[in-house]
């Protein structure tokens, strides 16, 4: 969840992107103090951050292309067919792969 894509038109989204769209929208509204005034805030939506601000970010494994240019990308893992909350949906085939990738990232970079 690095940008405001979930607030765009659902008709333009894939089935996977629409999977838990309303939950994502509600979550963002809970996180933001005022969604209307913060809709362009890079601290709420890091995908909107300038390159200069990204250079100040801690090492991370998201925002691949821009963080790579800023020298802050640790790793990029792409799992096609998994929604953002894929680890929570154990009925999806890719959820085990997602969980294993998450465990690997934690072990490699945080422990």
Note the pLDDT of residue 62: 67
Q: Residue-wise pLDDT tens for the chain (111 aa)?
A: 678 888 889 998 877 677 778 888 888 888 899 988 998 999 888 888 998 998 898 877 666 777 788 888 777 777 766 766 666 777 777 778 888 888 888 888 888
Note the pLDDT of residue 65: 77
Note the pLDDT of residue 41: 92
H helices present in the chain, as ranges: 15-18, 21-31, 35-38, 51-54, 64-69, 95-109
Note the pLDDT of residue 110: 82
């Amino acid at each position: 969840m690095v940008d405001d894509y979930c607030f765009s038109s659902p008709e333009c989204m894939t089935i996977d992107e629409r999977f838990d769209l309303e939950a994502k929208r509600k979550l963002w509204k809970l996180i933001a103090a005022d969604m209307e005034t913060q809709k362009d805030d890079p601290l709420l939506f890091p995908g909107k951050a300038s390159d200069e601000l990204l250079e100040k970010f801690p090492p991370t494994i998201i925002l691949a292309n821009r963080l790579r240019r800023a020298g802050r990308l640790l790793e990029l893992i792409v799992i096609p067919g998994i929604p953002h909350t894929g680890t929570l949906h154990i009925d999806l085939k890719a959820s085990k792969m997602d969980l294993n990738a998450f465990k690997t990232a934690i072990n490699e970079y945080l422990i």
